[in-house]
């Protein structure tokens, strides 16, 4: 495992994201804890000891599950990161009660890395609310040694990121952003990366394969990458792109099975810098992909959906449908109340989406496309 020093900590360049843990095969949506335990053991054996969870992941169970599994290892042998949920504080919970709950759920006395979760236009007022005092409380926990390094994750636009850095950039040690070769130009990731670099703030990468989108290319995309190097998978190309960036310290991957974990660890076993031609080829491929809906399957939109729709699945299917109408067969096999036409257009998903995706508009377009096909 290639590593990098961050202050006094040797970081693995690959981080284990706990947002997309393996699920039981019974369709319950519950995490397969036994399989997760095996994956953690394999990760630890291969030098991957950075684990990233958050308060809302897997309906609040991710922190508990990771805590139970990591309790089998010496505390100094692993690095644990979690995040402060602004939506819980906005609903009336004190920062202290939330933080103490997270420590208890994870079964630890301190967090190695702790982040303000999803700083963006919608959450910044909560984080900056002087009556809540969130940042002041967390800075105090850092002084007490209960947080080793305090940072933040950002889904906001450039102006929001710049304003937040102007306010707290000197207090926070790192920033986690969505960064991959598609978003390098599609979602201003290059500008965000350069802004953070200019401020001396190390970058943590989330969504390096964009929720799996860059691991599952269309035929033309896969052929273009095979022409560059037939031995590399699409996901390896995506990881190599962010691995090269000099201010990237950790690349997080939400791995759902042992095959993904094994492949990613192999990718991070040694650096293989991209050539200028390879980097340009990836960016050219990204230009051809930019007509897709930029959903990363974070699932923040799902809980508040009054129709109970699996929105990330439907948006992924819509992207696939726009490339090939054969995707329609899978969606048309769903119950009517789970198809895109069941969207009631309430807009709750738009408020919950870190990227502000107009989900109702896309689902309507998908439903209209399916209807036209069936005529």
Cβ atoms of residues 267 and 240 within 8 Å: yes
Reported as a pLDDT band with limits 50, 70 and 90, residue 327 is low
Return the biggest CA–CA distance within the chain.
66
Q: pTM of the entire structure?
A: 0.82
Query: Which of 228, 216, 165 shows the shortest CA–CA distance to 320?
Result: 216
Residue 374's pLDDT is: 66
Phi and psi torsions of 293, nearest 5°: -75, 125
Cβ atoms of residues 87 and 72 within 8 Å: no
Cβ atoms of residues 177 and 152 within 8 Å: no
Residue showing tokens 């502000």: 356
CB burial readout 240-268, b (16+ within 10 A) else e: bbbbebeebbbbbbbbbeeebbebbbebb
Contacts of 164 (CB under 8 A, 6+ apart): 119, 124, 127, 152, 154, 156
Distance CA 329, CA 239 (A): 32
Residue 316's pLDDT is: 85
Cβ atoms of residues 35 and 256 within 8 Å: no
Question: What is the tens place of the pLDDT at every residue in 23-44?
Answer: 999 989 999 999 999 999 999 9
Question: What is the tens place of the pLDDT at every residue in 147-182?
Answer: 999 999 998 889 999 999 999 999 999 999 999 999
Q: Is the pLDDT of residue 145 over 70?
A: yes
Contacts of 194 (CB under 8 A, 6+ apart): none
Question: What is the tens place of the pLDDT at every residue in 236-277?
Answer: 999 999 999 999 999 999 999 999 999 999 999 999 999 999
Mean pLDDT estimate for the chain? 94
Contacts of 41 (CB under 8 A, 6+ apart): none
Q: What is the dihedral of CA 257, 260, 264, 267, to 10 degrees?
A: 150
Question: What is the tens place of the pLDDT at every residue in 284-306?
Answer: 999 888 777 888 889 999 988 99
CB burial readout 319-357, b (16+ within 10 A) else e: bbbebeeebbeebeebeeebbbebbeeeebbeebbbbbb
Reported as a pLDDT band with limits 50, 70 and 90, residue 333 is confident
Distances (CA, A) of 20 to 230, 256, 298: 28, 6, 9
């Amino acid at each position: 495992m290639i590593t990098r020093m961050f202050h006094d900590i040797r970081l693995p360049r690959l981080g284990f994201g706990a947002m997309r843990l393996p699920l039981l095969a019974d369709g319950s949506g519950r995490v397969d804890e036994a399989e997760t335990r095996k994956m953690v053991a394999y990760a630890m054996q291969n030098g991957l000891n950075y684990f990233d969870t958050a308060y809302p992941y897997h309906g609040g169970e991710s922190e508990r599950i990771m805590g139970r599994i990591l309790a089998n290892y010496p505390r100094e042998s692993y690095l644990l990161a979690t995040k402060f949920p602004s939506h819980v504080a906005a609903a009336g919970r004190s920062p202290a009660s939330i933080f103490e709950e997270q420590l208890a759920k994870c079964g630890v006395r301190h967090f190695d890395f702790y982040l303000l979760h999803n700083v963006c236009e919608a959450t910044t007022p909560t984080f900056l609310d002087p009556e809540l005092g969130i940042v002041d409380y967390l800075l105090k926990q850092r002084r007490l040694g209960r947080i080793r390094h305090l940072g933040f994750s950002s889904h906001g636009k450039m102006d929001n990121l710049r304003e937040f850095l102007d306010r707290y950039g000197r207090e926070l040690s790192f920033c986690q952003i969505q960064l991959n070769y598609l978003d390098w130009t599609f979602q201003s990731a290059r500008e965000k990366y350069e802004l953070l670099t200019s401020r001396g703030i190390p970058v943590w990468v989330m969504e390096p394969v964009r929720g799996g989108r860059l691991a599952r290319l269309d035929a033309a995309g896969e052929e273009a990458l095979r022409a560059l190097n037939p031995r590399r998978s699409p996901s390896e190309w995506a990881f190599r792109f962010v691995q090269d960036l000099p201010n990237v310290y950790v690349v997080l991957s939400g791995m759902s099975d042992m095959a993904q974990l094994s492949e990613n660890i192999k990718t991070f076993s040694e650096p293989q810098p991209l050539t200028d031609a390879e980097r340009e080829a990836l960016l050219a491929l990204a230009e051809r992909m930019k007509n897709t809906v930029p959903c990363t399957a974070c699932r923040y939109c799902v809980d508040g959906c009054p129709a109970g729709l699996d929105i990330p699945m439907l948006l992924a299917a819509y992207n696939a449908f726009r490339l090939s109408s054969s995707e329609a067969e899978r969606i048309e096999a769903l119950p009517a109340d789970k198809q895109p036409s069941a969207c009631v257009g309430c807009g709750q998903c738009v408020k919950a989406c870190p990227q502000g995706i107009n989900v109702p508009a896309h689902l309507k377009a998908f439903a209209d496309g399916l209807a036209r096909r069936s005529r």
